[in-house]
Structure 1
């Protein structure tokens, strides 16, 4: 499993629009799960600020029951002096810290709507439009990126992803 892809998942602006009603919370999550079902080796690590207020077990409850086992962890909460401005690229730093301690050398993607939390032109970022959340075009991009990652890591033990997303 060392070379299995890791998906770092934000919630607000990804699994639902950033500003939404309670009824809309996690309205985009099924679209993400459909893509990831086609990539059974990819695991999810929650990078959302929700991890600072909720336990992993509680966060998993937002996912389909058959998918929850693939939500393997949360990134570490930042340990910064909150009287100071948040360091730049903090979300990317959290992802890299988690990878270093848990899955060194694993391919990864972050699905997030906050470009400023990552280095400029971070190739591991799938940037969503936070006002709408994870869209159909994001689903196609996620699938394509996972196919590419899988093709690159097949020699190290990952299996190929299944076909196109014709049912999205």
Structure 2
């Protein structure tokens, strides 16, 4: 079972806020690192997935893949389910909503519980101390200074054995 990266966009692949021309400015750096970890599959956890809310996940994935390089795009395999509520002035979220959405996707799509990580700029959307979260500074997005830690997380999820809850 391949490891999974839950990927946010705003505040990770570009700063938040950002101008449209700055969108995905840090994606080439993230993709360059992902090329060294070819078994890692990508699930989009970004609120950008909500643009296709009400449509199928396949439609959302097809649209979101367009932002990625041709060799990385096929590794985008899904979007997390939306568990919050939309309000006029933004997202009204349950506590730790992003982690709950990641876990819901895993339960539905990978019940064998593969290893996973989330690359996000909002640690408040995850349980305090979540070992699966790599938080980046949303004001900058993913920077070269984040590369070593990202590689450490990816190495962990690609080399460790998943905890299936069974003893051998």
Using the size of structure 2 for normalisation, the TM-score is 0.84
Match of 2:57 in 1: none
Q: Does 2:68 align with 1:63?
A: yes
For residues 58 and 77 of structure 1, the distance between their equivalents in structure 2, rounded to whole angstroms, comes to: 17
Match of 1:30 in 2: 28
**Cα-to-partner distance string for 1:44-98 (whole Å, 9 max, x where unaligned):** 0000000000422111100001211000000012254859942110000000000
For residues 92 and 28 of structure 2, the distance between their equivalents in structure 1, rounded to whole angstroms, comes to: 35
Structure 1 counterpart SS, 2:6: strand
Match of 1:121 in 2: 129
- Greater shift, 112-121 or 70-79, is seen at 70-79
Match of 1:135 in 2: 143
Instruction: Count the aligned residue pairs.
Output: 153
Query: Tell me, which stretches of 5 or more residues in structure 1 are unaligned?
Result: 155-168
Query: Tell me, which stretches of 5 or more residues in structure 2 are unaligned?
Result: 53-59, 163-168
Using the size of structure 1 for normalisation, the TM-score is 0.84
For residues 146 and 32 of structure 1, the distance between their equivalents in structure 2, rounded to whole angstroms, comes to: 11
- Greater shift, 79-88 or 17-26, is seen at 79-88
CA shift, 1:150, in A, is 2.2
CA root-mean-square deviation: 2.0
For residues 22 and 85 of structure 1, the distance between their equivalents in structure 2, rounded to whole angstroms, comes to: 25
CA shift, 1:17, in A, is 0.2
For residues 85 and 30 of structure 1, the distance between their equivalents in structure 2, rounded to whole angstroms, comes to: 32
For residues 93 and 16 of structure 2, the distance between their equivalents in structure 1, rounded to whole angstroms, comes to: 20
